[in-house]
Amino acid sequence: MASPLVETAPLILDVGIVLTVAATMGFAARKLGLPTVLGYLLTGLLVSPFTPGFVADENQLALLADIGVVLLLFEVGVEIDLRRMRREQKSILWGVPAQMAVGILFGTPVFLWLGIPIFGALLLSLSVAMSSSVVIVNIVRSPRRRTDSSTEDALLGWTVVQDVVCVTLAIIILTIFGESDRPLPIAIAGIIGFAALAYISSKLLPKLLRTIRWENDLFLIYSVSIGLVLASLGTVAFGIPMALAGFIAGLAINQSQDTDQLRKAILPFRDLFAVLFFVVIGSLIPPDELANSWPFALLVLAMMILLKTLPTALLASLGKLKVRPLQFGLGISQIGEFSFVLGSIAFAEGVITVSQYTGLLVAVVLSIVFSTIFVRKIGNQ
């Protein structure tokens, strides 16, 4: 009988090799003045089953990538200052729904015109209206960032409200079109139930963290485990997507006096696992479909500019956010993790073709790269 360590060694080797290649590619991208994320995406392509050579275990990488996204949004929830947002950035609370409404109302007819069923058209238009919390956090946390603190707060606040609106709309779309086994009343009850759990957590967890704040090892273990437990409970017990559940869990304890210590404890784990999220996206792009996917990818990017970049810049001006409107609009101009999930659902249900799905993935990659570059370019001016 083989030792458990021998059986798991190949999986550990996969992760070690992928992280080594990702770090190398990320370093090379940074030296060339490109976003580090591009190196991670190219790593996914190199270790995918579509290219010769080493092939990583996709299921293992996807699991670790999920952990990274949960910890990322948990940390965002811990750090976001809701009181300050309500006081200084009230326009975000109406600006985001307006921006997403523009994307859905004008985007859905375009996808219907392409012959995509209403279910797929709604999911794709919602994907285009969404931004990437992962990328935006990287933009505002990067040592090479060119944004001021007001812009960074606004970007984080905007994407957070987007996540909440997106998940609510996605639950409604999936339920109405019969793709969810949870009736709408039960889905809504799940949201309310998890909100109640988050409220209870907000009263109990800060006390626990204060009790052990000087025990560095225990504080670290509790910090990571709390985020993962609450996020997974949100999904298993209440039907909330793990990424959003992780964010809400962070919000639940963000009034603690120890939030800065908590955030610093999570950061190394968040950064390590979040790299794998981009690797997974890169690994899903089949090179032999690229020629067929370019028209759809360019259409998605054009729709993103017309239905998200420009409306966001306009709404930022109308809402008198303390930002540079164009830089802010470009900072929002990428499609990421939730868009990837929605597109994957549409592809799994057979309402979009493999070339359209590949086109969406290509649009994800290009939007992430160019959004990061242009935000820095404008910041240098």
Q: 54 or 138: whose pLDDT is higher?
A: 138
Q: What is the DSSP string of 142-160?
A: -TT----HHHHHHHHHHHH
Residue 194: pLDDT above 60? yes
Alpha-carbon span 78 to 257, nearest angstrom: 11
Which is higher by pLDDT, 357 or 206?
Answer: 357
Please count the CA atoms within 13 angstroms of the CA of 200 that sit on its side-chain side. 7
Closest-CA residue to 97 (of 130, 75, 64):
130
The model's pLDDT over 109-137, given as tens digits with 9 standing for 90+, comes to 999 999 999 999 999 999 999 888 778 87
Q: pTM of the entire structure?
A: 0.79
- Give residue limits of the domains in the chain: 4-131+149-380
Q: Which residue has the higher pLDDT, 259 or 6?
A: 259
Higher pLDDT, 109 or 142: 109
**How many CB atoms within 10 Å of residue 171?**
20
Position 178 scores a pLDDT of 57
Q: Is the pLDDT of residue 9 over 80?
A: no
Q: In the block, which residue shows the tokens 């984080």?
A: 156
Tokens 């908590």 found at: 262
- The pLDDT assigned to 87 comes to 62
The segment with the largest mean pLDDT, out of 31-45, 107-121, 199-213, 221-235, is 107-121
- Residue predicted with more confidence, 24 or 150: 24
Percent of the chain's residues with pLDDT above 90: 17
Q: What is the DSSP letter of 287?
A: G
Q: Give whole-number Cα distances, 62 to 15, 58, 246, 279, 284, in Å.
A: 11, 6, 17, 9, 11
Q: Which CATH number fits domain 4-131+149-380: 1.50.10.10, 2.60.40.1220, 1.20.1530.20, 1.10.1200.10?
A: 1.20.1530.20
